[in-house]
Amino acid sequence: RRRAEGRRRRHLPRSERRPRRMMAVNLDKEAYYRRLKRLYAHWKKGEDEYGKVDAIVVAVGVDEEIVYAKSTALQTWLLGYELTDTIMIFCEERIVFMASKKKVEFLKQVASGKGSENADGIPTATLLVREKNESNKGNFEKMIEAIKSSRNGKVIGIFSKDKFPGDFMKSWNDCLNKEGLEKVDMSASVAYSLAVKEDGELNAMKKAAAITAEIFNKVFKERVMEIVDADEKVRHSKLAESVEKAIEEKKYLVGADPSTVEMCYPPIIQSGGNYNLKFSVVSDKNHMHFGAITCAMGIRYKSYCSNIVRTLMVDPPQEMQEHYTFLLTVQERLLTQMHSGARIADIYQTVMGFVKQEKPELLPKITKNLGFAMGIEFREGSLVINAKNQYRLKKGMIFSVNVGFSGMDNKEGRSTEARTYALFIGDTVQINEEGAASVLTSVKKKIKNIGIFLKGEDEEEDEVKDEAEDLLGRGGKASLLTERTRNEMTSEEKRRTHQRELAHQVNEEAKRRLTENRGEQQAQKARKSRDSYKNPTQMPKEADIRDMKIYIDKKYETVILPIFGVATPFHIATIKNISTSVEGDYTYLRINFYCPGSALGRNEGNLFPNPEATFVKEITYRASNLKTPGELAVPATNLQNAFRIIKEVQKRYKTREAEEKEKEGIVKQDSLVINLNRSNPKLKDLYIRPNIAQKRMQGSLEAHVNGFRFTSVRGDKVDILYNNIKHSIFQPCDGEMIIVLHFHLKNAIMFGKRRHTDVQFYTEVGEITTDLGKHQHMHDRDDLYAEQLEREMRHKLKTAFKNFIEKVEALTKEELEFEVPFRDLGFNGAPYRSTCMLQPTSSSLVNVTEWPPFVVTLDEVELVHFERVQFHLKNFDMVIVYKDYSKKVTMINAIPVASLDPIKEWLNSCDLKYTEGVQSLNWTKIMKTIVDDPEGFFEQGGWSFLEPEGEGSERDSHGSESELEDETFNPSEVEEEVEDDDSDEDYSSETEESASEESLGSEEESGKDWDELEEEARRADREYREEEDDPRNRKRKGPVINLGSRKRRRK
């Protein structure tokens, strides 16, 4: 296997070779120290070969033919990279590295161990620079001396199978042999130490498994389907090459960086009676036979391997299906036995006992071993699932589980290739603490998922005959229906093509924006000082303070409290709340303060610049209600007065803070230039939203030189400048109870003590409330008159608003243009608490009739994602992601599913990217991840994770189906009943008749009168009933292809 992979790499042009060895400036020091500690911990325990050795020697040379070796695996595990011509010696007290000058520079990062909490207890590293043109005798002597000074210095641990060529390795091995040191093979012991994976390693292997499943499903499986459909002749080797090339296409890599992905081995595809169920073989040059087709393939991601094996079957006979179902059962039994603590030999014996009990005739045909551990190395020889292995499984191990039957006889096979077949399945699995192992390669393997069933010649002839009878006399309708379907598919295909282009464009533009904005930091808002007094002299000298009473300084908004005999000032902002109570003869005053954890707001960090300090959480004071002789007032009076005054100061402070917060970020506007001309465009009797005062008031809106001014009947004024308007929207009163002019502003303005970015002016055109107690009649003259008045009023108001808009546009020389929502493109949704009609305009999506209004600028939108798009749900949600990733996404809930296609069409026409999925996502977490590491996000594919084919959402949805669901589906009972509906080409006469008549409803019958249409409808119903009673039309047809609904005529 190593040589085959090496030969393949060697014969490639140098430009096409995928790099396996990488050098980088940075090294994961924490991982190095953590894993080195683990290795030394195993050594100190002294189990297996660890107890026999005094030092461990790892020497890595240069050999392109060697793909997997224990030495390079240990290097990669510790350092993250493979360093050629490098010697590592692990001694009890120190570690010695010998490498070239550049590699020594790289290793200096871990030599010191400074600045790492994991470096404690790690032996120090000695770095020796290799001399290229000399014998390196001096360095070799230093390393031999290090070995002899470690423990007894007589026995060294090596990896006996790793033999690298080259003068450097030869001279080092000669030096070791000359010293006469005893050698012990450490391969199995080190492999067992590396077998338990950390979380980062598990994530890498899960990613590798996901890519493997993606390429199998969307490349190999689809290609086999095409070959079978078209009856092509394709060689196994050519098919394997096409699968291998798929890793060069990003769309199959589920967001992974292509430079980190490579094949574990060339895909192995076998069929036509020649089967060898091992991973050391290569695909031969024979043509693929349409019988049992085995495929084994594995992807390596960031040096970590994965593996999958599947068998596709074309028209399998019943016996083959039964054997395959039993093979699935064997694999399930194997997975249930694989859990932490289980001995590998016991697992093997249990599975073999099961096969012997259920189908003893298959025992000689089963594979010799049932799998092996994998990680950085594809196959770990010391952890193979066979009868001799005494190692126990541990949580976090990853295994490639492979079970197969070879040399099986097909009694129904007519050709030499068809008489012998093999069945082979395998998955990458993770060992758990309890329960069965988890499958990481989520590719379905039930018969209905991997079986390809073709129609026979007789069945096809019957269908062709039935179709000819159905189409007789209705050629025009059928051709029109076909043409219509073809056009619809073409339109959908165009939309998808455009969306693919937009996906690439969105990612590229976002990357460009991030590059341009790099380095720009948001200015941190200065934290407001809450110090009561700048210096002690500012403290008041009141008698209450000297008498150790509570005193409130209104000037500096400070409460002075006696604490342990010391007058201590607290700013009013530090007080959360206060309460007073009377219990018996005493009055209690309780004061609660803000402290870390008490405020659940997002800006808690600004409140407490030093959260590690000690905080006072609460203070309680008690005073007597009984008057002491000689005193003017009861002692509790001080507490009661303090409670009242603190409340007043607190209220005043909070009111002022709220007003200042509203004014924050307000951009100062230019002054309105008043046009004294009386002919200014003007609208009277309008209401303003939001209200200036608590009650709504009428007023007039007038256009001036550089802006509008609204003047209420009370004299309040609101100015809106033209250059501050982002969107000006005119909502006519068609189908609405109000007519609206809405202004969405660039910068907020202040009125009514609040800041506003949306201001609208409206008037009512009908009765918004109806008196239900009033007796109404459709012919009541008063009602008819009221309706007539309302129609006239609507027309009058619409004309007045249109005239006003035209005059304003002329006044501003078309710089301010009013947009009118497209009601025909509108859809219902709930952007806030209630459902409303959302309507697109030329540059936005709006609802301005309900309050609060909803306005989204399309130019600011990055993409739109549809959530909960599922067949059985009536509604879905729409998430709008903005180009400014720090801005919170907008969500519109409860949109009827009937609006999905029109919305897609509208978005596509606006050049906006959209995606859809079945789940609701945590957008707060997603956007935070993107903002924290935008470069990493786009390196992993950007927004492609939202695509149905990206991140394998389709795969996940299929893969998550339980085996129980798979078993409840019986294709032999169900498919025969529904196949006519599922087929792409064959329709029953009833379905085709009704579909063609519906399609002709507007074209063929558009010129007929009602009597002719009635007669034609009766005739169609009569023919429909006659055909329904005809027993020939209820004839059932043979099975069709289960996988992918493709058909091929058998020759």
Region for residue 925 given its phi and psi (left: phi exceeds 0; alpha: psi -120 to 50; beta: otherwise): alpha
Q: How far apart are CA 791 and CA 801, in angstroms?
A: 16
What is the pLDDT confidence band of residue 456, given thresholds at 50, 70 and 90?
low
Cis ω for the linkage preceding 852 (within 30 of 0): yes
pLDDT at 776: 56
Q: Which range has the worst mean pLDDT, 114-128, 406-420, 947-961, 972-986? A: 972-986
Q: Please, what is the Cα angle at 846 between 841 and 851, to 5 degrees?
A: 150
In 3-state terms, what secondary structure has residue 889?
A: coil
807-824 pLDDT, tens digit per residue, is 898 888 778 889 999 998
Helix (H) or strand (E) holding 848: none
Sheet holding 558-563, edge to edge: 551-553, 558-563, 566-571
180-204 pLDDT, tens digit per residue, is 888 999 999 999 999 999 998 999 9
What is the pLDDT confidence band of residue 229, given thresholds at 50, 70 and 90?
confident
Q: Which residues pair with 581 in a beta bridge?
A: 588
Q: How far is CA 169 from the centre of its chain?
A: 48
User: What is the mean pLDDT of the segment spanning 448-455?
Assistant: 81
Region for residue 367 given its phi and psi (left: phi exceeds 0; alpha: psi -120 to 50; beta: otherwise): beta
Q: Are 700 and 678 in contact (CB under 8 A)?
A: no
Structure tokens at 691: 């209200």
Strands 371-373 and 299-301, by their bridges, are: unpaired
Strands 182-185 and 155-158, by their bridges, are: parallel
- Is 484's pLDDT higher than 50? no
User: Could you count the other beta carbons within 10 Å of the beta carbon of residue 1001?
Assistant: 10
Q: Where are the beta strands (DSSP E) in 604-737?
A: 618-624, 682-689, 698-703, 707-712, 717-721, 725-731
Q: Please, what is the Cα angle at 816 between 813 and 819, to 5 degrees?
A: 130
Cis ω for the linkage preceding 258 (within 30 of 0): no
Q: How far is CA 903 from the centre of its chain?
A: 23
Q: How far apart are CA 317 and CA 307, in angstroms?
A: 28
913-926 pLDDT, tens digit per residue, is 999 999 999 999 99
- Is 157's pLDDT higher than 70? yes
Helices (H), 80-180: 101-111, 137-148, 167-179
- Is 1007's pLDDT higher than 60? no
pLDDT at 743: 95
pLDDT at 1040: 38
Q: Are 44 and 152 in contact (CB under 8 A)?
A: no
Per the model's pLDDT, the better-predicted residue between 209 and 1042 turns out to be: 209
Give the residue from 98, 112, 27 showing the smallest Cα distance to 57.
Answer: 98
Q: How far apart are CA 33 and CA 109, in angstroms?
A: 11
- Is 779's pLDDT higher than 70? no
Q: Which residue has the tokens 């596509």?
A: 908
Tally of residues, the chain: 1051
Give the residue from 627, 637, 470 showing the smallest Cα distance to 544.
Answer: 637
- Is 518's pLDDT higher than 90? no
**Backbone phi and psi for residue 914, each to the nearest 5 degrees, phi listed first:** -130, 150
- Is 696's pLDDT higher than 90? no
What is the pLDDT confidence band of residue 663, given thresholds at 50, 70 and 90?
low
pLDDT at 267: 94
What is the pLDDT confidence band of residue 982, given thresholds at 50, 70 and 90?
very low
Output the DSSP codes for 806-831: HHHHHHTTTSS-EE---GGG-EEEBS
Q: How far apart are CA 645 and CA 643, in angstroms?
A: 6
Q: Which residue has the tokens 């020796």?
A: 128
User: Could you count the other beta carbons within 10 Å of the beta carbon of residue 1027?
Assistant: 15
pLDDT at 509: 86
What is the pLDDT confidence band of residue 140, given thresholds at 50, 70 and 90?
confident
Q: Please, what is the Cα angle at 298 between 293 and 299, to 5 degrees?
A: 140
Per the model's pLDDT, the better-predicted residue between 383 and 969 turns out to be: 383
What is the overall mean pLDDT for the chain?
A: 81
CA distance readout (Å), 126 to 27, 96, 441:
17, 5, 43
Question: What's 456-520 look like in SS3?
Answer: CHHHHHHHHHHHHHHHCCCHHHHHHHHHHHHHHHHHHHHHHHHHHHHHHHHHHHHHHHHHHHCCC
pLDDT at 298: 93
Q: How far apart are CA 13 and CA 4, in angstroms?
A: 16
Q: Please tell me the number of Cα atoms within 13 Å of 231 on its side-chain side.
A: 6
Nearest 10 degrees: Cα torsion 291, 296, 299, 303: -170
What is the pLDDT confidence band of residue 467, given thresholds at 50, 70 and 90?
very low
557-588 pLDDT, tens digit per residue, is 899 999 988 999 999 988 999 999 999 889 99
The amino acid at 976: E
253-308 pLDDT, tens digit per residue, is 887 888 899 999 999 999 998 999 999 899 999 999 999 999 999 999 999 999 99
User: What is the mean pLDDT of the segment spanning 753-779?
Assistant: 73
Q: How far apart are CA 917 and CA 591, in angstroms?
A: 51
Give the residue from 585, 602, 604 showing the smallest Cα distance to 594.
Answer: 604
Q: Are 1006 and 483 in contact (CB under 8 A)?
A: no
Structure tokens at 581: 């109570």
CA distance readout (Å), 894 to 256, 868, 902, 915:
34, 10, 16, 17
Q: How far apart are CA 1023 and CA 1040, in angstroms?
A: 29
Structure tokens at 628: 């002491």
pLDDT at 415: 87
Q: Please tell me the number of Cα atoms within 13 Å of 415 on its side-chain side.
A: 8
Helix (H) or strand (E) holding 384: strand 380-384
pLDDT at 985: 39
Q: Are 172 and 140 in contact (CB under 8 A)?
A: yes
Give the residue from 63, 67, 83, 70 showing the smallest Cα distance to 22.
Answer: 83
pLDDT at 163: 86
| Rg of the chain taking only CA atoms, in angstroms | 40
Q: Which range has the worst mean pLDDT, 310-324, 345-359, 400-414, 937-951? A: 937-951
Q: How far is CA 643 from the centre of its chain?
A: 53
pLDDT at 12: 38
Q: Which residue has the tokens 């016996």?
A: 319
Output the DSSP codes for 315-361: S--HHHHHHHHHHHHHHHHHHHH--TT-BHHHHHHHHHHHHHHH-GG
617-641 pLDDT, tens digit per residue, is 999 999 998 887 877 788 888 889 9
User: What is the mean pLDDT of the segment spanning 353-361?
Assistant: 92
pLDDT at 619: 94
